[in-house]
Structure 1
Amino acid sequence: MSQRTARETGRSVQVRSLTSETTEVYALPDGQFRADIAAGVQRFRRGGDWVPVDLTLQLRRDGSVAPKAHPNDLRISGRASAGVHELAAVGRGAGRVAMGWSGVLPTPVLAGNRATYVDVRPGVDLVVAATRTGFEQFLVVKTRKAAAQVETITFPFTGPGVASAARSGNGAIVISDRAGDQTARIPAPLMWDAKRAAAAGGPAAEKPVRTQVVSNGGTVELILTPDRSWLLSASTRYPVTIDPTVDPLTTTFDTYVRESVTTDKNQEPDLQIGLLATTPATLARSFLTWDTTLLAGKQINAATVSFWNFWSDTCTPTSWEIWTAGTSTYSTTFTDQPSWDHMEARSTATFGSTNCADGWATIDGKGFFQRAATANKTRAGMGVRATDETATTGFKQFRSREGTNAAEDPKASVTYNSWPTITSRATVPATTCVTGSSRPLVNTLTPQLKATVADGDETAMTVTFEWWALDGIAAIGSVASTGVTSGSTATVTVPAGVFAEGGSYKWRVKAADGVTGSDAWSSFCEMTVYVTVPPVPGCTAGADSDFNGDGVTDIAIADPEATVNGQEKAGQIHVSYGGIGTVQTVHEGNAQVPSGAEAGDGFGTSMASYDANNDGCTDLAVGVPYEDLNGLADVGVVNVLIGTPAGLAKGPASVTHHQNVGATPDVLEAEDWFGYAVHGGRTASGEPYLLIGAPGEDLGAAVDAGLVHYLRGTVNVVLDQAVTGSTDSNETDDRFGYSVSGSAHHLAAGRPGETTPNGAAFAGAVTIYTHELVSGLPRRVKDQTGGAGYAYANFGKSISMASYRPSGAPVNQPDSFMVVGAPGDGIGGKADAGKVHRYHLTTNAATGVNGVGQGLEGLAGSAEDGDYFGERVLVVNTAPGEVSTPQTLLVAVAAPGQDLDGAADAGIVQVFGAAANPVTSSVLLRRGGGVLPGSPAGQELLGLGLGATRNHLYLGSPYGDDTVYALAWSDLAAGTTTPVRQWQPGVGGIPAATAAFGAAVS
């Protein structure tokens, strides 16, 4: 309520519930609080109200004397006849302690805080002075003759708080009650004469008084025996004062220490620092203990510490310091000081010398109080000292908390704020905050982040969440929630498209209450997110097609026509592990591959290696386009086999996609050929994606119009030609999805059966998209690119693309380079000679680069009927991120119908710079001629089996010698055509019985 009133009125408002004996708190209009803290007691409770301390003594109706307002209920005796009397008593209830006097007490003379009993003994006055916490008793011996009256003085102590007494090491006496709890303390009694120290203004010399303590049946007697020889010495100047002080124990403390002084100075009304001009000079330092209970754990934004400076050696400003120090006690002396831990501030404020008035010497206390608050201290030790302790000009005296005027106590004004705190955090769905290897797996790419917050000042907060990639150096997103009340839970959801499948992330949160600097970030919480399948631990990312995550490239070789368990053309895949040299055969029904091998399924007709869950082990999408489901023929499925350290499909169950499972759109239909083409990759933001072609899909009356499925995290959509903004429509025999490809920035799908607007049947087309979603679908860049639009060119029968950085482009420019095969294109009257078309893709355009065919530009050979150049194309960027060159951005183009040396349809592959314009040369891969082993064979159709990593081109011969050859791209770029490795049935653990070994390679 106080804070609200302060904000509304623009004025500070006292928070009365936080008032204590030493502290008052005010709510400030800016949402902060100010604590005015005194070192000594300023007020106390009386009848439910706070009453200022007033030590002015007054006579009570019962004849006793008492201060107007004393925190420990001090009572002093009035006039009393002979006998033992209660001279003064202090404390309440079980802690009350009374000091007695034996003998007549005259009516006391009252002056301020002092009651003087004149000539209580001949020549001796008895004085009782009220202090802030207790009382001080003086015997003033006025003449040398009167010294005989004080040779021995006995003070009895009685009351509920008195059971025993003990002497401490420095001569002080501690009184305890029956429970053993300390109730009061009497510093070592001292006496001094009338000589004064010019510099400090106090006694020139003090003399300890010999004491004896006797405990007897609940009474304690303090027996003082002043040094008789000192009292009678001619050098002693009268009057002489003998001074025992009684103080109940308190929670705050101050004292000073000085060289050669061995007694406790806690009861003194001053604090001293610097070099005092005694003979010899003696160094003084001071210590205070502040009550910082209210500030523990708080944000300190400003603090000023003030000392009433009533004496300085000079009016010239001289430097002095405050330190964070250890805790001072009654036993603190110059030779046994607390530790001096941190110098917090310096000041040159100087007052109180001969030519300058007394005044408040102030110093910045922010560092001191923040250090105490951060350490959650309820009591904070402060040391005060002169900066230069070798010059007497630095000597100063400040009022201590024992002075009679509470307004001159050391004080501090501290502006603070309760830190908004995060009391709990959670990731939903999953667990509480966890880091390290036990970070949770979260089955969503849009998790909720929750934080419960609190503010000790009950201020509404702004709670800000931010999330980072696990190894990131900056946040990749943030959201702030405003008006969150203390004790409430703020919740945000990470937006779609930010987190990638299998990615590991960390997040943190902070709460701010409007006070500058109040918001401190929490530590990080971590998580790994997935939709497809949880990431598998133990994988090492870095190598292409590394199915077991050992850092070495593996290879998957498909034989989609293999007989499995007696089922002809069921299909299987052979995985050769490059790091361990073993071979694993995978088919439907073994390992973690669902379903069972059936005749004609064609398991492995298409394959795509990509890391579906971003765990570092490559996964393998396998197209089974002729799978029968629910009695429907050739429906098709795609199985994503999960890579693990044990190998492919040896851990989590494979993920199955078809048109009647999970969130995959559409329904099962015969002859859809779902999975005829597949492509997997990763977007520029690190999200795995999968393209699946279903070229046999009927759409309305359009038979074999075709569909493409696009899966990326939670995105699972179908692409066809009839969406809003398209210039085309779904038509019979388009076979959209016959080919698919993608890069980090783009994706494309071919429809080789497309009829052009001018009626050219099967001319073909390709649709290009970016990964950006518009109305939930990938944004189209261009509807179709059909070359010259020749009938039966089958433009789009094959597609391949890679990320591309043209000369002069910055790093990470979102461009791609695409090559499209048109194997039915005619060249120079040669039917089906084939041609490939090349495109530079940007975010909004597809710019054509010269199309090429055999015998054109720098390509080897010549165009011939039935070459089908472009039946397969494969683009690779061996140096992604760098400026692309003809040696790093390469394309392999197959012409499986090429006749060689009289062998019909022997087939060849040409390799050249994908973006070279013009193409000046190519590398020809063929049988014979010193290239591949053996001689050209009829109907080998070399080039139908193409695959690649960034390091190697794989060339399969499924209808020839059943060998898969690996050729290094770097060798090919240099014109070398020697294979660096080969795989054959019956060799190296690969089964001998095969049918179309190498029809697909990944």
Structure 2
Amino acid sequence: MLATAALAIPLAVHFTRQDEGKSAEAKGPAKPVEMGDALSAAKRTGKDVEATAERSANTTTWAQPNGRFKLRVSSSTVRAKVGGEWKPIDTDLTRVEGGFAPKAINGRVVFSAGSKQAAGAGGGRASRGVTRAALTADVPTGGWTDLVRLSADGHDLTVKWPGSLPEPVIAGPRALYENIRPGIDLLMTAQDGGYSHLLVVKDKEAAADPLLGRLNYLLSSPDLSFHLDEASYSISARDDKGEEIAGAPTPFMWDSSGEIATTIGEPSPAPSPEAAEHPTLALPGLAGAEGAHAKSATASLSADGALTVVPNQELLHDAGTVYPVFIDPSFKGHKLNWTLLYKTEGSSSFYNGQNFNASGTNEARVGYETRTFGTSRSVFTFDFDDKLHGATISSAWLRALETHSWSCTASTFDVYDTPSISSSTTWNNSDNGSFWGNRISEASTAHGNSSSCPDAWVAVDVKKSAVAGAANGWSTLTLGLRARNEGTANSWKKFLANGEATPYVDIEFNRPPNEPLQTDMETFPGGTCNTGTPVPSIGKTDLTFQVRATDPDGNLKNVYLNIWSRTTGAGVYGEYLEPDSEGIVKVTLPWSSFAHNNQYAWTASAFDTDGATTPGGPPGDARCAFNIDHTAPSSPAIASDDFPVPGTDGAEWSTGRFPAPGSVRFLGNGTSAEEIREYQWSINRPTFDKKASPSQGDSATAQVTPETAGPNVIYARTVDKAGNVSVPVSYVFYVRPGDKLDTPGDVTGDAQPDLLSIISSGKLYTSPADKSGDIDAGMPAATDAGMPVPDDYWKDPATGASALISHSTDWFPGDGITDMIARMPDGRLYVYPGDGNGRFDVSRRMEILLPAGSPDPASFTQIVATEDVTGDGMADFFALADGGNTFWAFSGYSGASFSTAKQIGGTVWGKRDIVQVRDVSGDGVPDVVFRDDSMASRGLALRKGKPAPSGGVDLSSFASAAASNGGQDITYGTTGWSRSAMPFLRGTPDVTGDGIPDFWVTSTDGNLYLYAGGNATHGARSLIDGGGWHTIKAIG
């Protein structure tokens, strides 16, 4: 018998696979089948039809004849996209540039092709007489060699081997590097998205090799950091948000003393053809063995990614050890995973089973067995697709292939909805009521013991968990399995966890129709649904209502149209209308249905064939509205190719860059050309000081020059030949920024400082200012990689606490575009990159790190971002911290962190708010303007800064009045500046054009004001916007 030992090192990233005795996968047509088309075919044929356009690596979607859909979610992948086409997973290795790679997997795995100087190249075995120096992490012989290069969730990761490697023997998915040391082989096995790794120590002589005293590897990644869990010795690879992308469980090792377990009815795997010449490939212990001698190894990780695994020397050298011995740690992608919890090794992680069983024994375990006296539990993660959020869940079944039971007498296991798992999840840190506190279902089974109760798929109802996930927007379902009675051996079961027959969840669902959008609701005349002010007017004419409804599942049934008088409350129309093939419903009501001088509102709700419905559209509290005036002309319609309507998602912008002019058309909208004298219009203020006369029928064209980048507003009204004037209408459009870099305070690219605000719902808005400081319109200011951001993103939905925000200049990534700094409700400080259009991408945010000795950002009550005021060429940042009681300055920003933190003031700042940190006095040195709520007669104070020797301001001169330039604070504003009267004051670079910084103020009267700056006292105030500013959560 060949005496051998195997070591598996923590270096495998793995994304697994699924199936059932389950439905065969349909062959997709050349053109992917959309969900709506699949549903039509299912109703026509009476059979399930796959919506092939919805395929992913681990999900399959079918339309059913009952009008619902079934989503199958595997705990691991079932297919991989190769060359734009979905193909079955194929891990067999093939030669590629730089090494050997699997033929069809998700991600990338490339094994080393070996190095020329390595002995034993080409599969030959090195002589036992060859002596090599011990390989160490500090000074590796031959330098570091890339052992494997892989990608996990879009991130690259490389594992390096200390020294050279021979050319591998390739056998299917395996790459065998023979005799890397005398009597020691290295076996790499490709898996979907990752790999497993084994060092095979063949006998006791090989076990004495110095290599096995300390195994060294080098981990590297351009954008992942590596972290060691000290309790379990597991390793996680994390992105810049701290999310685990890949994980390595506890290093583990076992010998060959156990019995090889086989599944009832399945033959033992045949050795590969290469095994005749390369016997390591035929070792039964490669697949793990029940009851083998096993021990965990220890690991350490240095800051530069040097990983050291220390094998258990007792197991290596014990007289009872049966060689080979296997050491198995491994990396695996985080999104699709499972873990085995093993009481006997309570502090060890068996993430994806990789260190409990080597590649091939991928079975989850549940219950207690008396062969090794071990108790096990298993937990699986299933992706929970966004399309299930808000859906009605009709059923959800967890299905798993039971491959072993202690006997043919059924025993009960329970399924729990558990917290998420990671590479550091162990028996010890999960054995509590918090982890196992939500039992959702049970099953009593016995399969896989003998031919009397062979392997079989079992199904468990997990609808409760799926319903909760749909209602709460979960991204995953995490389901834990444990025996009801863990004190009896009859509870012992195994389930296949990886490979072709992994567990999966079948979810039957129906999504409600989409709530009709404002842009899809129109009247003729009248145009697109108007929810703002002024409310448009419609004359004495029949009125057509049109709604376009959509359903994500393609099973739209009808649309309920509701019209009523706001003036009297009386209903006008309420009917269910059947849509055409485009989802459009239309109805015309005679003019006599509407009373003169009444205001009317209307909504539309969509229903599907399963009974699901939407709220009355358009989304939000505002309603489509119009006035009826049987004497005045109708309000005009406005259209423009140069300045299109932004749309619900704000995606449509002007064709030209600011300040390029464009054409705008005014139309009669029900008023005939013969009746129209002129259209009166204006931009950004309802002055109506410009005129346009019809030239072609009822159409008139005007040239418009926008005043700001970002949102602009055209106000227009119709005047008939009798002198009657229509109710005015407004037309909002977005203007693309100019081609110059942003100036301080500008976020829209027009060189004018702008204002950011968080409204009461928690949504972030940009309000561009014009050259007079006036604000005429706002727009949503946050996107998530181009998608909408939830309304409450910027506030804590539980407490209502808002983010703190501020902007000044370019902070990240140095592209000349102004960015925003935010202290979020989670208590952390972030920079949100601007897109140059007045919006900020939350998906690209980066946490800002503060130097040692800094206050906790969670204690901040105000933040103020400025341009460079300290003279180091980098933007600076100020904050009131410790509940507002201390005044701090942060400087030396490097794109990720500040290098210096300086406390400027103490508890006296508890009654103060920072208004401005800029040169106000005009002497070329930055000053600080602050509100002093403790002094009724001096509501605003100016503290002049002293110049620092190296340029900029000496921050110490802000510490007290006596330390300032002049030795005293100057009264900048007298009375009326209390926090109760003026909730928010925010400074801005010069808006009014006099070279002195100005500031915005929100008032409890609901208005927004701009105060002109002055060198010694503030200037006049201007009313900027009226109504609603008293409900604002933050400005910055």
TM range (shorter): 0.3 to 0.5
**The structure with more helix, counted as a fraction of residues:** 2
TM-score normalised by length of structure 1: 0.44
With CA pairs under 8 Å and 6+ residues apart, which has the higher RCO, 1 or 2? Answer: 2
